[in-house]
Chain A
Amino acid sequence: MIEKDFNTSYKPSWCPGCGNFGIFIALKNALVELNIKPENVLLVAGVGCSGNGVNFLKAYGWHSLHGRALPTAVGAKLANKDLTVIVMAGDGDGYGEGMAHFIHAVRGNTNITYITHDNQLYALTTGQAAPTTDKGTQTKSTPGGLIEEKANPITLALSSGGSFVARGFSGDATHLKELLKKAILHQGFSLVDVFQPCVTFNKVNTFKYFFDRLYNLDKKEGYTTNDVLAAYKEAMVWGDKIAYGLFYEDKRPSYDKYLPQLNGPALVKRPMKVRNIEQLLKEFA
């Protein structure tokens, strides 16, 4: 299998230089290297520039409603555990409209991979403030500067019981590919929040902005990924320096492991027959 096996006939509609390209290259290569066939991938996308990507990656696709990608993916994975379920959402999509789903999906720890395309604004709707936009930023919807504090997906995931919490950068596709491979292999909910500069609408958080600030946690001496408090500390660093890489990981069982009815073949691979309800009727007799 090669990267091209994941291409579709649809021409990408992203702007030249868009950070989304780096994410897609990393994802396709991660899938190739993990030897996962396109037909066994369910790509669940949200609505936004990231969501449009569902047209450009050959796999089974689900283009959900704005903010609703995560619950769709959770349902799909519970019904067919044999699929590799990957969710793509933007920061506006996933942390605005979909914030509640995000917290609960982290809590539930279903075995899916959540890749957020975090460009710190709404791009497809032409550049309004997102939950991850820095306070004070002037946008079309916040001409006087954004009043709210920015949301921090990493600390939110950590405080919700995240079992795999990571940050990637689309300007470092090789690192991102390795991170995505780990995330896909992780048996539980994995968050990979990816900085993905919007070259058209975000003139602040550019590729250069991140190249100047990012430091790689994976290479930080003495840093271990099993210490949640250390992870918090790194996740709170924001300014001249910003960390990326794997913040935290643990091995708590995924949601399905608690359901005895999901032992054995995937739910949808069992023969579907009319059920005998004689035993069940006894309680009503």
Chain B
Amino acid sequence: MENKKNNLTWKIGGEAGFGIKSAGMMFGKIFMRAGYEVFDYTEYPSIIRGGHNTYQLLVDTRPVNSINKKIDILVALNQNTIEQNFSELNVGGVLIYDSDKAKILPAKLAKAQITGLGIPLTTLAKEAGGEVMRNVMSLGASLALIGQSLDIANKIVKENFSRKGEVVVTNNIKALKIGFDFVTANFKGQFMCQLLTRPANNNILITANEALALGAVAGGLNFYAAYPMTPSSTILHYLAKIADKTGIVVKHAEDEISVANMALGASHVGARAMIGTSGGGFSLMTETLGLVGLTETPLVMVDVQRPGPATGLPTWTEQGDLQFMLHAAQGDFPRIIMAPGDATEAYQMGHQALNWADMYQLPVIILSDKLIAEGNTTIPKFDTKNIKINRGKILTVEQLRKIKEYRRYKVVPDGISPRTLPGMANGFFIANSDEHDPYGFSNEDSQNRIEQVDKRYRKLEQFAKTMSQPLVYGNPKAKKTVVFWGSNKGVILDSYVNLPDKIKSKLRIMQYQYLWPFPAEFTKHILNNSKEILLIENNSNAQLGNLIAQETGIVIKNKLLKYDGRPFFREDIISALKNF
């Protein structure tokens, strides 16, 4: 075959309940096993049956962490998918549709220069054992079209359905072949978009939610509490599934208030605790966030953002909680805020956050979002070589014996007073939600108040000395600077790679992984040495832009903001970077 390509975008659509996501996941895994890089993106309403669900997969020979708006193959399991998504097809693309359920006028196909492959999926699936297998059958059809064999697909289908019994496995493998054979017999050679081959590799296919959970698991997590809330729930589901074999207590509590306080209780007695939610749940955790700050109890809090306010757009994506995380809870107290740009960073932050919470005895917030939290990506398999567990200053019983009068909140130069854990003799203290003296007793004295507030803030100064600065990609000496944080990493870097060299050489791209304490000096250095600055954020208010202005006085006027619940597509970024 000629015209072999580096990448293609495949999309499947239908109602909730059609098995859109599960088919898509299998398709992604098939290409991962074949050595390709993939990134997936789902759109679905907040309902269980009906509606319009899509799963989109970008397959590439190079690492990929973003999606295109335009697609090459569309699988329509119903008419609505054609109505909604046909216009997304590239010229030369292919529409596979269930000709028992949907139709399209030949003139429409011709005008758009799209090949239409009508397959009687419903009839054929029923013959193979059930209509529900239309999704798997369409995978077989798609594989024939792209010129892949069924070898890997058969294995994936078997793995996926084995828990449902032999009959289901056999029927689905049959369905796969029927779809494959149908295309081979009827349409062979009509599709010119075949992929360059890649050697197999050691990648895994994973979401940032699972990666974050695994990072924490590797880093010694032993207590996780949560209340279900999209798009954070898959952290809870994953950890609950592996809880007994890893020795982690996973508690689904009655609400997010309880979640936060349970985790805090566990941390107080010595557990490594983490909680997860989305913005609405975090609102309920806010009062506890202040308690974490005042009692200086380690806690990792994960906010997987979705568009707010209130219930907002429950199943869509946005970066609208940064200012909320910076300001949540009354009063002044230190916190650390970080935002992973992809699953690899989420894994790293999962264990990093647990260490920092322990070392600095404060709340550590991980700010993720739906795009990466639910988007699967291929990345090199994680290892634990560089992970170390640092529990910070916890006294031993032997050390305590030598201390005449233990003071939990002793005013010390670095602000980090050694902890004891309940059960240790002579280590008594009160973790007090009232302002307290060095022993933890309630105390409203003026001098004590100042000393305790200052002591707590010195911990953050210590941390700031060691924290990583923003990452700079592209030409480090370029005078045009693109600024972003979080999940926009994928689309910005993927788009950058595809730009002409003469544009690339004029760009540098700055990513904020660690947002608080804010790296003001580094920011000033970069931005004051830029002729033009472009800020890219997935929110309406330029929340990072406001933070930069607050901390450096630099106001970025050139902003690319998106807040329709959708992530940036490559087309959005490529056009912005070309015109920048």
Contact = CB atoms under 8 A, between A and B. Distances in A.
B391 A40 contact: no
B430 A54 contact: yes
Interface in B380-438: 381-382, 384, 387-389, 391, 421-434
A284 B253 contact: no
Interface residues of A, number: 54
A105 B554 CA distance: 51
B441 A74 contact: no
A77 B391 CA distance: 20
A55 B430 contact: yes
B304 to A, nearest CB: 19
A54 B261 contact: no
B255 to A, nearest CB: 7
Contacts of B220: 272-275
User: Which residue among A39, A54, A79, A273 has the maximum number of chain B CB atoms within 10 Å of its CB?
Assistant: A79
A268 B271 contact: yes
A205 to B, nearest CB: 27
Given A68-B257, A104-B254, A275-B218, A39 B426 contact: yes
Nearest to B216: A275
A281 B204 contact: yes
B255 A100 contact: yes
Contacts of A59: 428
Contacts of A284: 204-206, 210
A178 B151 CA distance: 72
A277 B422 contact: no
B287 interface: yes
A64 B255 contact: no
Contacts of A65: 261, 287-288, 291, 433
A274 B251 CA distance: 22
Contacts of A285: 203-205, 381
A38 B427 CA distance: 10
A60 interface: yes
B253 A104 contact: yes
A61 B432 contact: yes
A261 interface: yes
B575 to A, nearest CB: 34
Contacts of A275: 217-220, 246, 384
A281 B247 contact: no
Interface in A168-201: none
B89 interface: no
B96 to A, nearest CB: 28
Interface residues on B, range: 35 or more
Interface string B220-256: 1011010000000000000000111011110101110
B262 interface: yes
A22 B261 CA distance: 29
Interface string B188-229: 000000000000000111100010001001111011010000
B338 to A, nearest CB: 20
B146 interface: no
Contacts of A74: 251, 262, 265
B524 to A, nearest CB: 38
A119 B269 CA distance: 31
A130 B436 CA distance: 28
A268 B247 CA distance: 11
Nearest to B421: A268
Interface in A48-91: 52, 54-55, 58-65, 68, 71-80, 82-83
B432 A270 contact: no
Contacts of B272: 272
User: Which residue among A270, A277, A285 has the maximum number of chain B CB atoms within 10 Å of its CB?
Assistant: A277
A261 B249 contact: yes
Contacts of B262: 71-72, 74-75, 78
A42 B269 CA distance: 9
A276 interface: yes
B476 interface: no
B269 A54 contact: no
B258 interface: yes
Given A55-B442, A274-B388, A60 B429 contact: yes
B93 interface: no
B263 interface: yes
Contacts of B441: 8, 10, 55
Given A55-B442, A71-B257, A285-B204, A79 B428 contact: no
B247 to A, nearest CB: 5
A267 interface: yes
Contact of A76 (B214, B259, B265, B428): B265
B223 A272 contact: no
A47 B433 contact: yes
B440 interface: yes
Q: 4 closest Cβ contacts across the A-B interface?
A: A75-B265, A75-B262, A61-B430, A268-B270
Interface of A: 8, 10, 37-40, 42, 44, 47, 52, 54-55, 58-65, 68, 71-80, 82-83, 100-101, 103-104, 259-262, 267-268, 270, 272-277, 280-281, 284-285
22 contacts: A39-B428, A54-B432, A58-B428, A60-B430, A62-B430, A63-B430, A71-B257, A71-B262, A74-B251, A76-B266, A76-B269, A78-B262, A100-B258, A101-B257, A101-B258, A261-B246, A262-B249, A272-B220, A274-B388, A277-B217, A280-B242, A285-B381
Given A267-B266, A268-B222, A274-B384, 4 more contacts: A60-B423, A68-B258, A80-B269, A262-B249
